[in-house]
Amino acid sequence: MQGVFVDPVHRTARVAGGSLLGELDREAQAYGLITPTGTVSHTGVGGLTLGGGIGRLTRLYGLTCDNVVSMEVITADGQLRHASENENADLFWGLRGGGGNFGVVTSFEFRLHPFNSTVTAGNLVYPLELAPKVFEFAAQYAATLPPEAAIGMSLLSLPNGVKIASVEFIHCGALSTGAALAKPLRDFMKPLNDTIATTTFTQVQTQGDAVQGPGHRQYTKGGFLPKMQAGVIEAAVAAIQSARLPLMHGIFFGQLGGGAMSKVSPGETAFPNRDADYVTFMFLQWDEPAHSAPAIDWARQAWKGIEPFSQGFYTNFMPSDVGQRHVDENYGSNLEKLTRVKNKYDPTNLFRLNANVLPARGS
Ligand SMILES: Cc1cc2nc3c(=O)[nH]c(=O)nc-3n(C[C@H](O)[C@H](O)[C@H](O)COP(=O)(O)OP(=O)(O)OC[C@H]3O[C@@H](n4cnc5c(N)ncnc54)[C@H](O)[C@@H]3O)c2cc1C
């Protein structure tokens, strides 16, 4: 079920349930419009939106789910329902952050924003040893940036053993402002490579597609950080320093705080983690079956160093070994209402292969 239909007059897009982010970006950008999505264009709109949807425009326009106007959804009883603020409002609430718990969304209607396709964006790459100083400066500086700009910080141990740190910068708006805002980051310490330049947003949105492509073994683990601290950077650097396997080990920090995401209260949609300053996740990728056990073991060990700085996790990056108690805790004060919505629309828990909301409680 793929297809994106833009209504440029009302600034909305009707998106079929199986569409990919790249299709939505491309069609909306053809009209100079956008809705915030994720960072890899072959990710599905469906799962990403229902779990929240975090990306380069989260500070500017909020989560992807914050930009949904309505949905067509087939619930567990086989009924096709329209969900919006005015119709089945409880279902609409639960679908925005509650993942695939309530039914199959056959189409989404998104709000679109006017958006200039030309942006200032790129990466500054450093040797791993400089990461603590560079990241500390970047995080302090990022806290002063307007919502039109955002940074991401990555630590990588590549399959050939090379270890690097990088800071991704993006600014959407006047190019002169973008260049001026990037300058302190570029000037702070000389990078090995500096790719910050004028480019198109759709180009930025596809730059990670190949590296994170299908057909490989992958493991992801992560959480939200209430604030960026020196301790979490140290733990992440130590983890990357300890990486010995000939495969891609990555630890990523994405800036979220101080923008549109945190302006929505945690109870307004089912997505609970509104106060996060950063999202962090580990990304491992390999092909050899023999690397699976040591790679996952490395990730679990590395996470032990980072986890004490985290609070809650992003359900769309949830590994399968997270227990129900943690899933419940993560929904926080929204769990009770989620349970009521689950009881109403999926009382037998037909949709359970997800960050599951159990229907029995409180029914
Ligand atoms: C390479 C890569 C990059 C990523 N980058 C980001 C990112 O930048 N930002 C971010 O927020 N997340 C990101 N993610 C996480 C992503 O949000 C989740 O993996 C999400 O589940 C993807 O949704 P999907 O529709 O592609 O997946 P699928 O595997 O098709 O679906 C996953 C689950 O979502 C639910 N679901 C999917 N479609 C529907 C539907 N139409 N109706 C009801 N339920 C549905 C179901 O429960 C399903 O089991 C990334 C993941 C990958 C693999």
Q: What is the mean pLDDT of residues 130-134?
A: 98
pLDDT in tens, 82-129: 999 999 999 999 999 999 999 999 999 999 999 999 999 999 999 999
Q: What is the mean pLDDT of residues 330-355?
A: 97
Identify whether the C-beta of residue 75 lies closer than 8 Å to the C-beta of residue 103: yes
Binding site membership of 255 for ligand 1 (Cβ less than 6 Å):
no
Atom 37, ligand 1: residue with shortest CA distance: 47
Report how far apart the first and last C-alpha atoms of the chain are (Å, whole number).
Answer: 34
Calculate what percentage of the chain has a pLDDT beyond 70: 99
Pocket residue to mutate for ligand 1, from 1, 15, 20, 43, most atoms within 8 A of Cβ: 43
Atom 13, ligand 1: residue with shortest CA distance: 38
Average pLDDT, the chain: 96
Q: What is the mean pLDDT of residues 45-56?
A: 98
Q: Is the pLDDT of residue 195 over 80?
A: yes
Q: Beta partners for 16?
A: 107
Instruction: Output the CA 350–ligand 1 centroid distance in Å.
Output: 19
Atom of ligand 1 nearest to the CA of 20: 26
Binding site membership of 17 for ligand 1 (Cβ less than 6 Å):
yes
Binding site membership of 74 for ligand 1 (Cβ less than 6 Å):
no
Instruction: Output the CA 43–ligand 1 centroid distance in Å.
Output: 6
Residue 141: name the closest of 190, 175, 187, 172 by CA: 187
Q: Beta partners for 156?
A: 164, 250
Atom of ligand 1 nearest to the CA of 54: 11
Q: Is the pLDDT of residue 361 over 70?
A: no
Q: What is the mean pLDDT of residues 53-71?
A: 98
Q: Is the pLDDT of residue 363 over 60?
A: no
Q: Is the pLDDT of residue 74 over 60?
A: yes
> What pLDDT is stored for residue 319 in this prediction?
77
Atom 31, ligand 1: residue with shortest CA distance: 47
Q: Beta partners for 82?
A: 72
Find the helix packing angle between 230-241 and 292-306, rounded to 10°. 160
| 263 vs 322, residue with greater confidence | 263
Calculate what percentage of the chain has a pLDDT beyond 90: 98
Instruction: Output the CA 117–ligand 1 centroid distance in Å.
Output: 25
d(CA 63, CA 52): 6
Q: What is the mean pLDDT of residues 183-202?
A: 97
Task: Give the tokens for residue 355.
Answer: 């960050």
Q: What is the mean pLDDT of residues 200-204?
A: 96
